[in-house]
Amino acid sequence: MKKFIQHIAAVKAVASLAFSALIMVLTVATMLFGGDSVPVSYIWQIIFLSLIYGSLQLAAFSENLFKKSGTPARMLFLGVSMFAALAAFAAIFAWFAVNSAINWLLFAGAYAAVFLVATFALRTVFKISGLKYNQMLAAYKANHDNI
């Protein structure tokens, strides 16, 4: 039961971050296109997509599902499965004219571009953070080796 609660908390944490980011993007997009409010149906879609994303991320980076897989395989799983979820939402909620192949190509291209930019941005942030903490650890060790 304790593991289940930990999984729920992990999904909730990721989903909360995703929800906040998506609401900010949607709000800015709504204002740019002349709107003054976000429909409640969009908020519900974002809630469910955030929960799906949190679950998929937990699954992708869980040692239970991918015991010996590296980060690229995990990211591929996350990217493809999230695209499938977004495509299903796009079709169900008619985000665009779904009977047009050009629209699907644009949707897939936009998704791939955003996914790649986000992946490389986060990779850079984590690399910089890792270097910072390595420097702090080295300084700590240097101070404690002299004692």
- List, for residues 26-80, the tens digit of each pLDDT value: 999 899 989 888 889 999 999 999 999 999 988 888 877 777 788 888 888 999 9
120-138 tens-digit pLDDT: 887 787 777 777 777 777 7
Under 8 Å between Cβ of 26 and 66: no
More confident residue, 123 or 21: 21
pLDDT at 108 over 70: yes
Q: pLDDT category, 85, cuts 50, 70, 90? A: very high
Q: pLDDT category, 93, cuts 50, 70, 90?
A: very high
Q: What are the residue boundaries of the structural domains of the chain, listed by start?
A: 1-95, 97-147
**Length of the chain as a residue count:** 147
For 1, other C-beta atoms within 10 Å of its C-beta total 5
Q: Which residues of 100-137 are buried (b: 16+ CB within 10 A; e: fewer)?
A: eeeebeebeeebeeebeeeeeeeeeeeeeeeeeeeeee
